[in-house]
């Protein structure tokens, strides 16, 4: 029998336990007082997520009413200040804001590098209440804002939780076999059909990851699974990522041992990778911003913009909908606001912004209406986190709106990008319509204190924080 003192020691919380309990109680208190907001920031391929988050943090830290006129708390003079704080989740990488802003202030300025995993930054916003009982009882409050950055590729894995391996495999095989993707995937699909023993799984799985990367990079494909095959992080080279889809004919061979192996790895991936991400991070978000490169997909063609629509609609099915009541915030936080933001609005002329908004909204389809019906506030927005162009006009027998900026080779450019359709076009649209949405270099700032030029970031901040301030 263990001595009584030893038994007592095993039952008594040590200092680390008390500190952890203290942090948990603090988070509960903030939630109970509605003084804590956890926002997920992600983006589909090419959407400029890191530049967006860098701009958002910079706008909040250097907020000026003339620069963010639509942020009500700021324009009312109630914002007392914003400061960075120590992040609450020490297991996450800190968002590398300092290096990102340093690159934007360099000569020539550089876009921030893409992030490849989870990261987090916490801000404290001190403000005076707008009125009511809070204003009578206290002269200021502090809202703690946690911004969690994660790859959009991981978000696209959530629909896999609702699919068996066979269903997922048929879905992916159909996509990979269809034009224009099959010009890139044809040789790999043929190799999979010839797969005869388990020793060939690992090399084909590695090729599959490279193939998905090529589809994303060269053809602007969006709906690619599993997302960790694109950004494996610590899972690189592990058996849990060594799976891929099989043809419908192969799936019908129920006694095929290779089908069983791939099914078991798919199931393990869903259970050990996707579900833990969902429980630990995704299900804890109060609000979610999904950045969408609508213009990039539109520039590539019908298959790309259609696949983006499929991805957006699949994403919406993965969210916990419902209003953020106090009890839900305390015990089962749910996303009460969801935003799909079409970025790079500075790459088109202002007269096309309404069409870009309408097109992005149309990509949501019926799933957007169902989300609104369930009580969640689902919105679309057109913005530019860091504006890299100026609006202008040229005379071509009449005034034509254009944008002016600097390309990635630091050469001045003047462009008429083209007219954006207001709805998802028919395939024939691309035979008669051209676009020019090439990349632009970031603007020259010169100083960390200089305001970052933007389009509608004040609208986004009001959407994100207005009801909490």
pLDDT digits (tens, 9 = 90+) for 379-430: 899 999 999 999 999 988 888 999 999 999 999 999 988 899 999 989 888 8
What residues does 292 pair with on adjacent strands? 342
Look at residue 326 in the predicted model and tell me its pLDDT: 44
Q: Are strands 399-406 and 389-395 parallel, antiparallel or unpaired?
A: antiparallel
CA dist 165 and 256 (Å) reads 14
**In percent, how much of the chain has pLDDT > 70?**
86
Question: Nearest CA to 345 among 337, 353, 335?
Answer: 353
CA dist 356 and 360 (Å) reads 6
**Contact residues for 280 (Cβ-Cβ < 8 A; gap 6+):** none
Crossing angle of the two packed helices 97-104 and 49-61, in degrees rounded to 10: 90
Q: Is the pLDDT of residue 328 over 60?
A: no
| Predicted confidence band of residue 84 (pLDDT cuts 50, 70, 90) | very high
**Mean pLDDT to the nearest integer, 212-223:** 93
**Mean pLDDT to the nearest integer, 182-191:** 96
Look at residue 336 in the predicted model and tell me its pLDDT: 83
Q: Does the pTM of the predicted model rise above 0.95?
A: no
CA dist 319 and 321 (Å) reads 6
**In percent, how much of the chain has pLDDT > 90?**
59
Rounded to a whole number of angstroms, the CA Rg of the chain reads 24
CA distances from 189 to 83, 400, 416 (A): 52, 48, 41
**Mean pLDDT to the nearest integer, 76-82:** 95
CA dist 259 and 267 (Å) reads 12
Question: Nearest CA to 301 among 174, 208, 179, 129?
Answer: 179
Q: Is the pLDDT of residue 58 over 90?
A: yes
CA dist 67 and 75 (Å) reads 10
Please work out, in degrees rounded to the nearest 5, the angle formed at the alpha carbon of residue 115 by the alpha carbons of 111 and 118. 150
Please list, residue by residue across 236-268, b when 16 or more beta carbons sit within 10 angstroms of its beta carbon and e when fewer do: eeeebbbbbbbbeebbeeeeeebbeebbebbee
Please report the domains of the chain, with CATH numbers, ordered by start residue. Answer: 35-150+283-388+444-468 (3.40.50), 163-278 (no CATH)
């Amino acid at each position: 029998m263990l001595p009584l003192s030893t038994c007592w020691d095993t039952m008594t919380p040590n200092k680390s336990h008390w500190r952890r309990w203290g942090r948990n109680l603090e988070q509960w208190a903030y939630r109970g007082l509605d003084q804590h907001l956890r926002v997920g920031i992600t983006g589909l391929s090419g959407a400029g997520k890191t530049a967006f988050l860098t701009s958002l943090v910079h706008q909040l830290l250097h907020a000026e009413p003339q620069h963010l006129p639509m942020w009500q708390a700021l324009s009312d003079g109630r914002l007392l200040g914003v400061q960075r704080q120590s992040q609450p989740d020490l297991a996450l990488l800190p968002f590398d804001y300092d290096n990102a802003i340093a690159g934007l202030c360099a000569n020539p300025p550089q876009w921030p590098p893409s992030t490849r995993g989870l990261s987090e930054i916490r801000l404290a916003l001190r403000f005076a209440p707008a009125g009511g009982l809070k204003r009578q009882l206290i002269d200021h409050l502090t809202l703690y804002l946690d911004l969690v950055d994660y790859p959009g590729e991981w978000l696209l894995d959530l629909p896999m939780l609702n699919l068996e391996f066979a269903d997922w495999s048929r879905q992916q095989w159909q996509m990979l076999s269809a034009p224009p993707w099959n010009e890139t995937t044809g040789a790999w699909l043929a190799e999979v059909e010839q797969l005869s023993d388990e020793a060939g799984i690992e090399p084909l799985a590695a090729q599959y990851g490279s193939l998905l990367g090529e589809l994303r990079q060269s053809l602007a494909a969006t709906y690619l699974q599993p997302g960790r095959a694109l950004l494996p992080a610590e899972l690189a080279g592990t058996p849990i990522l060594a799976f891929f889809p099989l043809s419908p004919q192969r799936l019908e061979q129920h006694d095929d041992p290779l089908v069983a192996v791939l099914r078991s790895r798919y199931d393990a991936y869903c259970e050990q990778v996707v579900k833990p991400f969902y429980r630990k991070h995704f299900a804890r978000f109060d609000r979610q911003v999904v950045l969408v490169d609508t213009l990039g997909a539109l520039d590539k063609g019908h298959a790309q913009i259609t696949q983006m629509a499929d991805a957006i609609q699949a994403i919406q099915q993965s969210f916990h909908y419902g209003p953020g009541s106090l009890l839900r915030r305390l015990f089962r936080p749910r996303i009460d606001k969801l935003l799909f933001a079409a970025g790079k609005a500075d790459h088109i002329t202002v007269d096309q912004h309404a069409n870009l908004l309408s097109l992005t909204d149309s990509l949501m389809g019926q799933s957007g209406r169902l989300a609104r019906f369930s009580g969640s506030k689902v919105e679309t927005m057109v913005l530019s986190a860091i504006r890299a162009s100026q609006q202008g006009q040229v005379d071509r027998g009449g005034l034509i709106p254009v944008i002016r900026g600097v390309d990635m080779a630091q050469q001045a450019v003047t462009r008429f990008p083209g007219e954006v359709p207001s709805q998802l076009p028919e395939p024939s649209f691309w035979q008669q319509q051209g676009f020019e949405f090439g990349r632009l270099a970031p603007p020259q700032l010169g100083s960390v204190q200089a305001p970052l030029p933007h389009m509608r970031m004040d609208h986004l901040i009001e959407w994100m924080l207005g009801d909490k301030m």
